Amino acid sequence: MNLLKLSAIIPLVFLVACNQPVTQENSPGDITVACYYFPNYHTDDPRNIINKGPGWSEWELVKKAVPRFPQHKQPNIPAWGYTDEKEPAVMEQKISAASRNGIDCFIFDWYMYEDGPFLNRCIDEGFLKAKNCDSIKFGLMWANHDWVDIHPYTRGAEQKLLYKGEVSPARFEEISDLLIKEYFTRPNYWKIDGKAYFSVYDVQKFVNGFGSIEATKAAMDRMRQKAVEAGLKGVHWNLVAWGNPILPVEKAPSNTAELISMLGFDSATSYVWIHHVQLPDTMTDYNFVRDAYFTHWDKARTDYGVPYFPNVTMGWDPTPRCSIDSEWANVGYPFMNTISNNTPGNFRKALQLTKEKLLADPAGPRILNINCWNEWTEGSYLEPDVVNGMSYLDAVRKVMEGD
Protein backbone atom coordinates (compact mmCIF):
# COMPACT_ATOMS: atom_id res chain seq x y z
CA MET A 1 0.00 0.00 0.00
CA ASN A 2 1.28 3.48 -0.83
CA LEU A 3 1.46 5.24 2.55
CA LEU A 4 1.92 8.59 0.83
CA LYS A 5 -1.09 8.52 -1.45
CA LEU A 6 -3.63 11.24 -0.81
CA SER A 7 -7.15 11.21 -2.12
CA ALA A 8 -8.34 14.31 -3.91
CA ILE A 9 -11.08 16.40 -2.33
CA ILE A 10 -12.73 19.74 -3.43
CA PRO A 11 -12.22 23.30 -4.89
CA LEU A 12 -11.33 27.00 -4.29
CA VAL A 13 -10.68 30.52 -5.91
CA PHE A 14 -11.11 34.35 -6.39
CA LEU A 15 -10.05 37.36 -8.46
CA VAL A 16 -7.66 39.85 -6.89
CA ALA A 17 -7.16 43.56 -7.19
CA CYS A 18 -3.51 43.64 -6.18
CA ASN A 19 -3.30 47.21 -4.96
CA GLN A 20 -6.40 47.24 -2.81
CA PRO A 21 -5.68 47.98 0.86
CA VAL A 22 -5.67 45.07 3.25
CA THR A 23 -8.40 45.16 5.87
CA GLN A 24 -8.79 42.88 8.86
CA GLU A 25 -11.20 41.79 11.52
CA ASN A 26 -9.24 43.76 14.13
CA SER A 27 -9.72 47.44 14.89
CA PRO A 28 -7.55 49.79 12.78
CA GLY A 29 -4.91 50.20 15.49
CA ASP A 30 -4.51 46.48 16.15
CA ILE A 31 -1.77 44.41 14.57
CA THR A 32 -2.29 40.78 13.66
CA VAL A 33 0.69 38.70 14.74
CA ALA A 34 1.18 35.51 12.79
CA CYS A 35 3.89 33.01 13.68
CA TYR A 36 5.41 30.40 11.39
CA TYR A 37 5.28 26.82 12.64
CA PHE A 38 7.62 24.09 11.32
CA PRO A 39 5.93 20.68 11.78
CA ASN A 40 8.81 18.19 11.97
CA TYR A 41 8.61 17.50 15.70
CA HIS A 42 6.31 14.49 15.65
CA THR A 43 7.13 10.84 15.27
CA ASP A 44 6.23 8.37 12.55
CA ASP A 45 5.52 10.53 9.55
CA PRO A 46 5.36 7.97 6.71
CA ARG A 47 8.20 9.62 4.78
CA ASN A 48 10.36 9.97 7.88
CA ILE A 49 9.81 6.29 8.66
CA ILE A 50 11.15 5.45 5.20
CA ASN A 51 14.16 7.76 5.43
CA LYS A 52 14.96 7.85 9.16
CA GLY A 53 13.21 4.88 10.71
CA PRO A 54 10.31 4.60 13.17
CA GLY A 55 10.16 7.05 16.07
CA TRP A 56 12.34 9.74 14.46
CA SER A 57 11.60 13.45 14.62
CA GLU A 58 13.81 16.50 14.35
CA TRP A 59 14.09 16.51 18.14
CA GLU A 60 16.85 13.93 17.59
CA LEU A 61 19.03 16.66 16.07
CA VAL A 62 18.21 19.08 18.89
CA LYS A 63 19.24 16.51 21.50
CA LYS A 64 22.62 15.90 19.84
CA ALA A 65 23.56 19.54 19.22
CA VAL A 66 26.93 20.72 20.60
CA PRO A 67 28.89 24.00 20.59
CA ARG A 68 30.77 24.38 17.30
CA PHE A 69 32.87 27.50 17.98
CA PRO A 70 33.83 29.72 20.96
CA GLN A 71 30.86 31.25 22.85
CA HIS A 72 28.43 29.17 20.81
CA LYS A 73 25.25 28.53 22.82
CA GLN A 74 24.28 24.94 22.15
CA PRO A 75 22.44 22.77 22.94
CA ASN A 76 19.11 24.55 23.36
CA ILE A 77 16.87 22.46 25.61
CA PRO A 78 13.07 22.80 25.44
CA ALA A 79 11.47 23.60 28.79
CA TRP A 80 8.39 21.58 27.81
CA GLY A 81 10.46 18.56 26.91
CA TYR A 82 10.78 16.72 23.60
CA THR A 83 7.04 16.55 23.00
CA ASP A 84 5.16 14.96 20.10
CA GLU A 85 3.14 17.62 18.29
CA LYS A 86 0.76 15.15 16.65
CA GLU A 87 -0.79 14.61 20.10
CA PRO A 88 -3.75 16.98 20.66
CA ALA A 89 -2.79 17.57 24.31
CA VAL A 90 0.65 18.78 23.22
CA MET A 91 -0.85 21.19 20.73
CA GLU A 92 -3.30 22.41 23.36
CA GLN A 93 -0.35 23.56 25.46
CA LYS A 94 1.16 25.40 22.49
CA ILE A 95 -2.14 27.01 21.47
CA SER A 96 -2.79 28.18 25.02
CA ALA A 97 0.68 29.73 25.37
CA ALA A 98 0.47 31.41 21.97
CA SER A 99 -3.02 32.84 22.38
CA ARG A 100 -2.23 34.19 25.87
CA ASN A 101 0.91 35.93 24.67
CA GLY A 102 -0.14 37.93 21.64
CA ILE A 103 0.06 35.35 18.84
CA ASP A 104 -3.09 35.56 16.72
CA CYS A 105 -2.28 32.93 14.12
CA PHE A 106 -0.03 29.98 13.39
CA ILE A 107 1.16 29.81 9.77
CA PHE A 108 2.02 26.17 9.29
CA ASP A 109 4.78 25.25 6.87
CA TRP A 110 2.68 22.93 4.69
CA TYR A 111 4.28 20.22 2.58
CA MET A 112 2.39 18.69 -0.32
CA TYR A 113 4.08 16.92 -3.20
CA GLU A 114 3.04 15.20 -6.40
CA ASP A 115 2.62 11.88 -4.57
CA GLY A 116 1.06 13.15 -1.37
CA PRO A 117 1.62 15.01 1.91
CA PHE A 118 4.58 15.29 4.25
CA LEU A 119 4.64 16.34 7.93
CA ASN A 120 0.86 16.74 7.96
CA ARG A 121 0.18 14.74 11.13
CA CYS A 122 1.04 17.78 13.26
CA ILE A 123 -1.80 19.89 11.89
CA ASP A 124 -4.29 17.15 10.98
CA GLU A 125 -4.01 15.01 14.12
CA GLY A 126 -2.56 17.44 16.64
CA PHE A 127 -3.64 21.02 16.00
CA LEU A 128 -7.05 20.46 14.43
CA LYS A 129 -8.05 17.94 17.10
CA ALA A 130 -6.89 20.07 20.02
CA LYS A 131 -9.79 21.03 22.33
CA ASN A 132 -8.81 24.71 22.17
CA CYS A 133 -8.07 24.78 18.45
CA ASP A 134 -10.65 27.49 17.83
CA SER A 135 -8.93 29.91 20.20
CA ILE A 136 -6.30 30.74 17.57
CA LYS A 137 -6.35 31.26 13.81
CA PHE A 138 -4.25 29.17 11.46
CA GLY A 139 -3.02 29.58 7.92
CA LEU A 140 -0.84 27.68 5.49
CA MET A 141 2.42 28.51 3.77
CA TRP A 142 3.00 25.98 1.01
CA ALA A 143 6.65 25.01 1.55
CA ASN A 144 6.95 23.88 -2.05
CA HIS A 145 10.74 23.72 -2.11
CA ASP A 146 12.69 20.59 -2.94
CA TRP A 147 13.30 18.42 0.13
CA VAL A 148 16.94 17.42 0.44
CA ASP A 149 18.38 14.89 2.88
CA ILE A 150 20.26 17.24 5.23
CA HIS A 151 18.86 16.18 8.62
CA PRO A 152 21.72 16.00 9.56
CA TYR A 153 24.15 16.83 6.78
CA THR A 154 27.71 15.55 6.52
CA ARG A 155 29.93 18.31 5.17
CA GLY A 156 30.98 17.61 1.60
CA ALA A 157 28.53 14.76 1.06
CA GLU A 158 26.07 14.56 -1.82
CA GLN A 159 22.94 16.54 -1.07
CA LYS A 160 20.43 13.89 -2.00
CA LEU A 161 17.14 15.14 -3.44
CA LEU A 162 14.26 13.22 -1.87
CA TYR A 163 11.15 15.08 -3.05
CA LYS A 164 10.73 17.65 -5.82
CA GLY A 165 8.77 20.77 -5.01
CA GLU A 166 7.13 21.10 -8.43
CA VAL A 167 3.69 19.61 -8.94
CA SER A 168 1.76 18.99 -12.15
CA PRO A 169 -1.29 21.06 -13.17
CA ALA A 170 -3.59 18.08 -12.55
CA ARG A 171 -2.12 17.53 -9.11
CA PHE A 172 -2.53 21.19 -8.24
CA GLU A 173 -6.25 20.98 -8.98
CA GLU A 174 -6.48 18.14 -6.45
CA ILE A 175 -4.47 20.20 -3.96
CA SER A 176 -6.81 23.16 -4.45
CA ASP A 177 -9.82 20.99 -3.72
CA LEU A 178 -8.15 19.57 -0.62
CA LEU A 179 -7.21 22.98 0.71
CA ILE A 180 -10.75 24.31 0.51
CA LYS A 181 -12.51 21.30 1.94
CA GLU A 182 -10.11 20.48 4.76
CA TYR A 183 -8.73 23.88 5.76
CA PHE A 184 -10.00 27.10 4.15
CA THR A 185 -13.63 26.60 5.12
CA ARG A 186 -12.89 26.01 8.81
CA PRO A 187 -14.15 28.85 11.04
CA ASN A 188 -10.69 29.53 12.50
CA TYR A 189 -8.81 29.53 9.21
CA TRP A 190 -7.07 32.90 8.79
CA LYS A 191 -8.89 35.15 6.35
CA ILE A 192 -8.06 38.62 5.09
CA ASP A 193 -11.01 40.56 3.68
CA GLY A 194 -12.94 37.30 3.96
CA LYS A 195 -10.43 35.54 1.71
CA ALA A 196 -8.45 32.52 2.85
CA TYR A 197 -4.76 33.35 3.30
CA PHE A 198 -2.53 31.02 1.29
CA SER A 199 1.18 31.65 0.94
CA VAL A 200 3.66 30.21 -1.57
CA TYR A 201 7.31 29.78 -0.59
CA ASP A 202 9.03 29.16 -3.93
CA VAL A 203 7.41 31.01 -6.81
CA GLN A 204 9.78 29.54 -9.39
CA LYS A 205 8.96 25.95 -8.46
CA PHE A 206 5.28 26.91 -8.58
CA VAL A 207 5.53 28.34 -12.10
CA ASN A 208 7.78 25.55 -13.35
CA GLY A 209 5.10 22.99 -12.53
CA PHE A 210 2.68 24.69 -14.93
CA GLY A 211 5.24 25.57 -17.58
CA SER A 212 4.24 29.22 -18.01
CA ILE A 213 3.15 32.36 -16.21
CA GLU A 214 -0.19 32.28 -18.03
CA ALA A 215 -1.02 28.72 -16.96
CA THR A 216 0.01 29.45 -13.38
CA LYS A 217 -2.16 32.54 -13.15
CA ALA A 218 -5.11 30.67 -14.64
CA ALA A 219 -4.74 27.98 -11.97
CA MET A 220 -4.59 30.61 -9.24
CA ASP A 221 -7.76 32.21 -10.60
CA ARG A 222 -9.53 28.84 -10.71
CA MET A 223 -8.62 28.30 -7.08
CA ARG A 224 -10.09 31.71 -6.25
CA GLN A 225 -13.32 30.90 -8.03
CA LYS A 226 -13.59 27.53 -6.31
CA ALA A 227 -13.25 29.28 -2.96
CA VAL A 228 -16.08 31.65 -3.86
CA GLU A 229 -18.24 28.68 -4.82
CA ALA A 230 -17.45 27.16 -1.42
CA GLY A 231 -18.86 30.24 0.34
CA LEU A 232 -15.69 32.28 0.86
CA LYS A 233 -14.90 35.66 -0.64
CA GLY A 234 -11.90 34.13 -2.36
CA VAL A 235 -8.25 33.39 -1.69
CA HIS A 236 -5.69 35.89 -0.48
CA TRP A 237 -2.59 34.78 -2.39
CA ASN A 238 0.61 35.70 -0.55
CA LEU A 239 4.16 35.30 -1.83
CA VAL A 240 7.17 34.64 0.36
CA ALA A 241 9.62 36.90 -1.46
CA TRP A 242 13.32 36.35 -0.87
CA GLY A 243 16.65 37.26 -2.39
CA ASN A 244 19.34 35.23 -0.62
CA PRO A 245 18.97 31.46 -1.10
CA ILE A 246 19.37 29.46 2.12
CA LEU A 247 18.64 25.81 1.35
CA PRO A 248 21.13 24.07 -0.95
CA VAL A 249 18.64 23.69 -3.81
CA GLU A 250 17.17 27.21 -3.68
CA LYS A 251 17.53 29.73 -6.48
CA ALA A 252 16.18 33.23 -5.98
CA PRO A 253 14.14 34.79 -8.81
CA SER A 254 15.61 37.91 -10.37
CA ASN A 255 12.24 39.49 -11.13
CA THR A 256 10.16 39.10 -7.97
CA ALA A 257 8.21 42.33 -8.41
CA GLU A 258 7.34 41.40 -12.01
CA LEU A 259 6.20 37.91 -10.96
CA ILE A 260 3.99 39.36 -8.23
CA SER A 261 2.30 41.60 -10.76
CA MET A 262 1.94 39.06 -13.58
CA LEU A 263 0.61 36.31 -11.32
CA GLY A 264 -1.69 38.59 -9.32
CA PHE A 265 -0.46 37.96 -5.79
CA ASP A 266 -2.35 40.01 -3.17
CA SER A 267 0.55 40.54 -0.80
CA ALA A 268 4.17 39.67 -0.15
CA THR A 269 6.11 38.79 2.96
CA SER A 270 9.34 37.25 4.25
CA TYR A 271 10.04 33.99 6.04
CA VAL A 272 13.28 34.91 7.81
CA TRP A 273 15.61 37.90 7.91
CA ILE A 274 18.58 36.12 6.38
CA HIS A 275 16.68 35.72 3.12
CA HIS A 276 17.61 39.38 2.68
CA VAL A 277 20.73 39.90 4.80
CA GLN A 278 24.17 38.35 4.48
CA LEU A 279 25.76 37.29 7.78
CA PRO A 280 29.37 38.56 7.70
CA ASP A 281 30.53 36.98 10.96
CA THR A 282 30.41 33.54 12.56
CA MET A 283 28.26 35.17 15.24
CA THR A 284 26.64 38.19 13.54
CA ASP A 285 25.00 40.67 15.89
CA TYR A 286 21.21 40.52 15.98
CA ASN A 287 20.75 44.29 15.79
CA PHE A 288 22.95 44.52 12.68
CA VAL A 289 20.72 41.98 10.94
CA ARG A 290 17.56 43.77 12.11
CA ASP A 291 18.69 47.11 10.70
CA ALA A 292 19.71 45.55 7.38
CA TYR A 293 16.33 43.83 7.14
CA PHE A 294 14.55 47.13 7.78
CA THR A 295 16.38 48.54 4.75
CA HIS A 296 15.00 45.65 2.71
CA TRP A 297 11.52 46.30 4.11
CA ASP A 298 11.60 49.90 2.87
CA LYS A 299 12.57 48.70 -0.59
CA ALA A 300 9.96 45.91 -0.66
CA ARG A 301 7.15 48.31 0.25
CA THR A 302 7.87 50.42 -2.82
CA ASP A 303 9.06 47.78 -5.29
CA TYR A 304 6.48 45.02 -4.90
CA GLY A 305 3.32 47.02 -5.60
CA VAL A 306 1.26 45.04 -3.07
CA PRO A 307 0.94 45.19 0.73
CA TYR A 308 4.07 43.83 2.40
CA PHE A 309 3.85 41.99 5.74
CA PRO A 310 7.15 42.39 7.61
CA ASN A 311 8.95 39.65 9.48
CA VAL A 312 10.59 39.62 12.90
CA THR A 313 13.15 36.84 13.25
CA MET A 314 14.00 35.49 16.71
CA GLY A 315 17.41 34.08 15.76
CA TRP A 316 19.41 31.95 13.35
CA ASP A 317 21.61 28.94 14.07
CA PRO A 318 21.24 25.84 11.84
CA THR A 319 24.24 24.03 13.37
CA PRO A 320 22.03 21.27 14.90
CA ARG A 321 21.51 20.12 11.31
CA CYS A 322 25.29 19.78 10.84
CA SER A 323 26.67 16.30 11.44
CA ILE A 324 28.63 16.33 14.68
CA ASP A 325 31.29 14.26 12.89
CA SER A 326 32.01 17.13 10.46
CA GLU A 327 34.22 20.10 11.26
CA TRP A 328 32.20 23.30 11.21
CA ALA A 329 33.03 26.08 8.74
CA ASN A 330 31.04 28.73 6.89
CA VAL A 331 30.71 26.77 3.65
CA GLY A 332 26.95 26.73 2.99
CA TYR A 333 23.75 25.63 4.68
CA PRO A 334 23.60 24.23 7.30
CA PHE A 335 27.31 25.00 7.76
CA MET A 336 26.87 28.76 7.84
CA ASN A 337 27.22 31.84 10.00
CA THR A 338 24.75 32.47 12.79
CA ILE A 339 22.94 35.32 14.53
CA SER A 340 24.05 36.07 18.09
CA ASN A 341 22.99 38.52 20.79
CA ASN A 342 19.36 37.65 20.06
CA THR A 343 18.39 38.23 23.67
CA PRO A 344 14.74 38.51 24.68
CA GLY A 345 15.37 42.24 25.11
CA ASN A 346 16.73 42.68 21.59
CA PHE A 347 13.90 40.59 20.19
CA ARG A 348 11.42 42.79 22.04
CA LYS A 349 13.08 45.91 20.61
CA ALA A 350 12.77 44.50 17.09
CA LEU A 351 9.08 43.83 17.65
CA GLN A 352 8.54 47.32 19.03
CA LEU A 353 10.27 48.98 16.09
CA THR A 354 8.29 46.84 13.66
CA LYS A 355 5.02 47.74 15.36
CA GLU A 356 5.86 51.46 15.28
CA LYS A 357 6.86 51.28 11.62
CA LEU A 358 3.59 49.57 10.71
CA LEU A 359 1.45 52.05 12.64
CA ALA A 360 3.32 55.00 11.14
CA ASP A 361 1.91 54.14 7.71
CA PRO A 362 -1.81 55.06 7.79
CA ALA A 363 -2.57 53.21 4.56
CA GLY A 364 -0.34 50.22 5.25
CA PRO A 365 -1.23 46.74 6.46
CA ARG A 366 -1.51 45.84 10.14
CA ILE A 367 0.09 42.40 9.91
CA LEU A 368 3.49 41.04 10.87
CA ASN A 369 4.86 37.55 11.12
CA ILE A 370 7.48 35.96 13.33
CA ASN A 371 10.06 33.35 12.57
CA CYS A 372 9.43 31.05 14.24
CA TRP A 373 7.35 29.22 16.82
CA ASN A 374 9.59 26.17 16.83
CA GLU A 375 12.52 26.20 14.39
CA TRP A 376 14.73 24.59 17.04
CA THR A 377 17.21 23.21 14.53
CA GLU A 378 17.58 26.66 12.96
CA GLY A 379 17.84 28.53 16.25
CA SER A 380 14.63 30.53 15.85
CA TYR A 381 11.86 29.65 18.30
CA LEU A 382 9.44 31.25 20.74
CA GLU A 383 8.71 28.09 22.70
CA PRO A 384 10.33 28.22 26.15
CA ASP A 385 13.79 26.78 26.71
CA VAL A 386 15.46 26.00 30.03
CA VAL A 387 17.55 29.20 29.95
CA ASN A 388 15.07 31.88 28.84
CA GLY A 389 11.77 30.35 29.88
CA MET A 390 8.81 32.27 28.49
CA SER A 391 10.82 35.46 27.88
CA TYR A 392 10.38 35.56 24.11
CA LEU A 393 6.64 35.01 24.35
CA ASP A 394 6.49 37.61 27.12
CA ALA A 395 8.15 40.05 24.71
CA VAL A 396 5.42 39.51 22.12
CA ARG A 397 2.66 39.99 24.67
CA LYS A 398 4.17 43.14 26.19
CA VAL A 399 4.83 44.84 22.86
CA MET A 400 1.41 44.04 21.45
CA GLU A 401 -0.37 45.09 24.65
CA GLY A 402 1.69 48.27 24.85
CA ASP A 403 3.32 47.46 28.21
Whether residue 88 is contained in a domain is answered as: yes
Whether residue 3 is contained in a domain is answered as: no
CATH number, domain at 104? 3.20.20.80
**Burial category of 307 from C-beta neighbours within 10 Å (exposed 0-12, middle 13-18, buried 19 and up):** buried
Average pLDDT of span 364-386:
98
According to the model, what pLDDT value does residue 18 have? 33
Whether residue 6 is contained in a domain is answered as: no
Instruction: Tell me how far apart the alpha carbons of residues 360 and 250 are, in angstroms, rounded to a whole number.
Output: 34
Q: Which of 60, 34, 37, 93 is nearest to 236 (CA)?
A: 34
pLDDT tens, 162-199? 999 999 999 999 999 999 999 999 999 999 999 999 99
Whether residue 87 is contained in a domain is answered as: yes
Neighbours of 94 (CB within 10 A): 24
CA 292 vs CA 235, 238, 299: distances in Å: 32, 23, 11
pLDDT tens, 272-292? 999 999 999 999 999 999 999
User: What rounded mean pLDDT belongs to the chain?
Assistant: 93
Total domains, the chain: 1
Banded model confidence at residue 271, pLDDT cuts 50, 70, 90: very high
pLDDT tens, 57-109? 999 999 999 999 999 999 999 999 999 999 999 999 999 999 999 999 999 99
Neighbours of 102 (CB within 10 A): 20
pLDDT tens, 7-63? 333 233 323 333 345 555 444 469 999 999 999 999 999 999 999 999 999 999 999
Residues with Cβ within 8 Å of residue 403, at least 6 apart in sequence: 397
In percent, the amount of the chain with pLDDT more than 70 equals 93
Average pLDDT of span 197-224:
97
Domain span including residue 131 = 32-401
225-229: long-range contacts at Cβ-Cβ below 8 A with a sequence spacing of 24 or more? Answer: 225/11, 225/12, 225/13, 225/14, 225/15, 226/10, 226/11, 226/12, 226/13, 226/176, 226/177, 226/180, 227/11, 227/12, 227/13, 227/14, 227/180, 227/184, 227/195, 227/196, 228/13, 228/14, 229/11, 229/13
Phi, psi of 387 (to 5 degrees): -90, -50
Q: Which helix (H) or strand (E) holds 268?
A: strand 267-269
According to the model, what pLDDT value does residue 7 have? 33
Report residue 240 CA to chain centroid gap: 9
Q: What share of the chain is helix, strand, coil (3-state, %, to 5)?
A: 35, 20, 45
Whether residue 19 is contained in a domain is answered as: no
What are the residues facing 5 on neighbouring strands?
Answer: none
Whether residue 16 is contained in a domain is answered as: no
According to the model, what pLDDT value does residue 284 have? 98
Whether residue 175 is contained in a domain is answered as: yes
Whether residue 220 is contained in a domain is answered as: yes
Banded model confidence at residue 252, pLDDT cuts 50, 70, 90: confident
Judge contact between 230 and 12, C-beta under 8 A.
yes
Residues with Cβ within 8 Å of residue 146, at least 6 apart in sequence: 161, 163, 164, 165, 205, 247, 249
Average pLDDT of span 382-399:
98
Q: Is the pLDDT of residue 138 over 50?
A: yes
